[in-house]
Structure 1
Amino acid sequence: MIRQALGPDTATFRPLFPDGTAFLWGATPTLEKNNAKAIALRTRGPGDPALFRTRRGSWP
């Protein structure tokens, strides 16, 4: 459940998605080996910053 993954940040997201639905998407891999996107995807990991956009603005 997403609530477990968000932990204390759940309270921050609740007003942004009051009906409990958040449409999320991620980056798609590229066939190229060493362009900027391939390097970014290869080196991403837990703790990296993320941007969440809503109709009211963005967070953080």
Structure 2
Amino acid sequence: MGLRATDHADPAAAAMIGATFACVEAALASWVFDDEARPLAELLDRAMNAVCRVNDE
């Protein structure tokens, strides 16, 4: 990412961590709602790919 550990003015690291937690939360919610029918890892991959697609556009 090109960030230094002391660069507290750059929000990129916090944004990445926040996006990761949002993906985990979304995947867990879908997994529970669907009675754990699909693997959690698959749902997490879908959530993470959704974030990457938005970022790539």
Q: RCO greater where, 1 or 2, for CA within 8 Å and sep 6 or more? A: 2
TM-score computed with the length of structure 2 as normaliser = 0.29
Relative to its length, the structure with more helix (as a share) is 2
Relative to its length, the structure with more strand (as a share) is 1
TM-score computed with the length of structure 1 as normaliser = 0.28
